[in-house]
Amino acid sequence: MKRPVSAFFVIVITMIDNKTLSDIYDRHHHELFVYICGFTRMPEVAEDFLHDAFVRLIRYSQKYPLDPTNIRAFLYRTARNICIDHARRNKKLNISPLEENLKSGGGDPQTDLELRELRGTVDSLVDARDQLSRSVYLMRTELDMPYQEIAGALNISERTAKRKMSSMLEYLADSLEKAGFKLFMLILLSLLAILFVIYR
Amino acid sequence: MKGTVTVKSHISHKALARYIAGTVKERHRGRIAEHLAECGRCRSRHGKMIAAIAPRYSMLRASEAAKVRVLRSRDRLAEDETARTPSGLRSLLPQHPRAVLAGSLALAAAVVAAAVLLFRPPVEEVRPYLAAANVDGGVVINDRPLIDRERVFEGSAITLPEKTSARLEYGRGFSITLIGPALFTVDRLMSRGDSEPVELECSLRQGILVSDSGGTRTVAYAYNTPGARIEPTGTEFLLQSAGGATLVVMKTGSVTVKHGASAERVTVAAGSRCMVKEKADVSKASPEDLKIFDSMDNLRDGAFERQILKPEPLVKDNNLKQPLRTPRPVVRERTGDNAMGRIQPDAPSDGNRTARRDTVTGPSKTGSREQERINKNKKLLREARQAIRQKRRTPK
């Protein structure tokens, strides 16, 4: 967070007050929570991380003056770092896929099952990508944020945000296509094996 | 767009991804939409992708307790901060971090500067010195043996017994070879700067020296004998002092010899010799005289008895610390009616020199005053002893 130049020598730093903190929380907590959920896929853990991110903001305000234009970027950056730290500490971060929270595919159990399998595949594919691509993907798909806002929140250029999103979707489309082909071939081979056993 | 958009061919992964991401160019967007409307397979792929990336967490909400926790954490941190608020100068740190940092750095710099100034090693005074070389056994400097490569500083007194020699060198070229029996003192040896020549003034109370400047001008030197003062100007010559007489034999260059008593100055050129007794006599040196310079060993062993004065045995001189200077020929009275009277000094004699000067001009130095006090005490003692002896002789 950049320090105002005018206050080079005399900077009066006061800890963020309750009202300001409450306003900031109200403004940013939902998108942050969803963003963290995209990483952790566990709402309880996401809530803890959200709390940690705001505590870091409070501690920062004890040492340095807050720049209102950068609070959002600070929170996103902090949340992402917390998620990365947690993922490093606990490799089994994505053990709960939040099945109960997923949208229903339309009532048809077969379709729901296929959709869940598809989302599971997408999750594993997304997890394999870098943190910045994941962040852009989550903000775009989950929060429907325009690229300009994504760029501001992640402190990257808009062009980079677009490139990351396109790259991620190309990768998903390609991987899903290949996964579908592999499944088709697997089923086909299984059928041939069954027929061979029956008619032998 | 590459590989994309004909109704007959299907939409590539890349184009589909960009279409969904919203980064496809505007002119392709309509055509892709048209194709999707017509092509069932591509529509299915598109639907599958949309379903795959559909938002899943946006409907989730953090609990109200989360906000309460955050606000409570803020209050707790505020309490901790109040408890840990520094007092005094430390309280300025959070408010004026840069000013405090700048002040701390300035203070540290001042402390370092003060430490450097206070604890820096003393600047070593480079005292000029003469280096002893080829020193024979028995040569003594300041009542201890002189050894090779020893440094001879100002105020040193060197005594050489019979048939001994020693050489004193300064830098490259300048050397003084002393031949015993001799008494030699270094009265002044000081440097006024790197670019200035070293000032050297020595006293040859008795004995022989051969001075060779070696053609260098790094040393401005002069010799005093009891009867003369020799001021060379870059030469090689022999100087002998014996029995109150001074002999100078010139090989190269020239010297100015100043008679001690009459203050008469004569210049002794190369190939000449000068004998200073009652007056300074300059004569042409014989070829035998100049052979003296060929071998210092022969000179030491007494091979040139006829060319030089007869060496006299060493006389113990207790006043070696006192520089040997030529007496002043003319001295103004400090007191008196006319105040312009001139006093002709007596014949130079080392023993009574100080006393005479003190009589004329008054004690000019602390050393002279001390000597006068000692003499006075001795005189009192002598008188007291005489009185005691007379008293004993007197019959009761």
Sequential DSSP letters for B258-324: EETTT--EEEE-TTEEEEESSSEEEEEPPHHHHGGGG-HHHHHTTTTTTTSPPP------TTTTS--
What gap in Å lies between CA A47 and CA A42, rounded to an integer?
9
Which amino acid is it at B190? M
Q: Which residues of A touch B46 (CB under 8 A)?
A: none
Q: Count CB atoms within 10 A of the CB of residue A140.
A: 25
A7 to chain B, any CB pair closer than 8 A? The answer is: no
Tell me which residue in B23, B54, B62 faces A29 most closely, judged by beta carbons: B62
Question: What 3-state class would DSSP assign to B36?
Answer: helix
3-state secondary structure of B218: coil
Average pLDDT over chain B, rounded to whole?
79
Residue A24 DSSP SS3: helix
pLDDT score recorded for residue A157 = 92
| A43 vs B16, B60, B71: nearest CB | B60
Calculate mean pLDDT across residues A14-19: 81
Interface confidence, given as ipTM, is 0.75
CA B364 to each of CA B145, B273, B345, B358, B371: distance values in angstroms, whole numbers, following the listed order: 34, 36, 17, 7, 12
Nearest CA in chain A to B20: A169
Whether the per-residue pLDDT at A128 is higher than 90: the answer is no
pLDDT bracket for residue A54 (50, 70, 90): very high
Considering just the CA atoms, what is the radius of gyration of chain A in Å?
22
Q: CA nearest A95: which of A44, A135, A131, A130?
A: A44
Radius of gyration of chain B (CA): 50
A51 vs B45: CB contact, 8 Å cut-off?
Answer: no
pLDDT for B269 equals 86
Place of tokens 């022999």: B238
Residues lower than pLDDT 50 in chain B:
1-7, 326-363
Kindly report the backbone phi and psi dihedral angles of residue B367, in degrees, each rounded to the nearest multiple of 5, phi listed first: -60, -40
User: Crossing angle, helix B13-21 and helix A158-198, to 10 degrees?
Assistant: 130
Convert the pLDDT of each residue in B33-85 to its tens digit.
Answer: 889 888 888 888 888 888 888 888 888 888 888 888 899 888 888 887 776 66
- Alpha-carbon span A193 to A181, nearest angstrom: 18
DSSP state letter for B24? S
Return the half-sphere exposure (C-beta side, CA atoms, 13 A cut-off) of residue B171.
Answer: 15
Tally Cβ neighbours within 10 Å of residue A4. 9
CA B267/CA A131 separation, integer angstroms: 101
Name the B residues in 90-149 with CB < 8 Å from any A CB: 94-99
Count the alpha carbons within 13 Å of B355 in the hemisphere toward its beta carbon: 12
Residue A87 tokens read as: 């993922």
Average pLDDT over residues A79-104: 66
Grouping H, G, I as helix, E, B as strand and the rest as coil, residue B214 is coil
Q: Does the pLDDT at position A55 exceed 80? A: yes
**B185/A136 Cα distance (integer angstroms):** 96
Cβ–Cβ under 8 Å, residues A2 and A48: no
How far is Cα B49 from Cα B385, in angstroms, rounded to an integer? 136
Is B66 in Cβ contact with A47 (below 8 Å)? yes
Contact B3/A at CB under 8 A: no
Are B55 and A10 an interchain contact pair (Cβ–Cβ within 8 Å)?
no
Cis peptide bond prior to B181, omega within 30° of 0: yes
**C-alpha to C-alpha distance for A55 and B23, rounded to whole angstroms:** 37
Q: Which of B52, B70, B98 sits opposite A118 (nearest CB)?
A: B52
Residues 88-127 of A with CB under 8 A from B: 98, 101-103, 105, 115, 118-119, 121-122
The larger pLDDT score, comparing residue A105 to residue A42, is at: A42
Q: Do B96 and A176 touch (CB under 8 A)?
A: no
Better-scored residue on pLDDT, A180 or A107: A180
Cβ atoms of B282 and B273 closer than 8 Å: yes
Chain B within 8 Å of A141 (Cβ-Cβ)? Answer: yes
pLDDT digits (tens, 9 = 90+) for A56-80: 999 888 888 888 888 889 999 999 9
Query: Between β-strands B245-252 and B272-276, what pairing exists: parallel, antiparallel or unpaired?
Result: antiparallel
**Residue ranges with strand state E in B13-150:** 130-133, 140-141, 144-145
Q: CB of A142 within 8 A of CB of A35?
A: yes
pLDDT for residue A53 is more than 90: yes
Q: Which chain B residues are within 8 Å of A10, Cβ to Cβ?
A: 95-96, 99
Which pTM value belongs to this model? Answer: 0.43
Torsion angle of the four alpha carbons A35, A39, A42, A43, in this order, in degrees rounded to the nearest 10 = -10
State whether residue B83 sits within 8 Å of chain A by CB: no
Per residue in A171-183, pLDDT (tens digit) is 888 887 777 667 7
| Residue tagged 């300001």 (tokens) | A20
- Give how far Cα B60 sits from Cα of A29, A96, B54, B63, Å: 11, 15, 14, 9
Backbone angles phi, psi at B262, to 5 degrees: -95, -10
User: Chain A: nearest CA to B111, how far in angstroms?
Assistant: 24
Pick from B286, B119, B134, B57: nearest CA to A98: B57
Q: Are strands B198-212 and B219-225 parallel, antiparallel or unpaired?
A: parallel
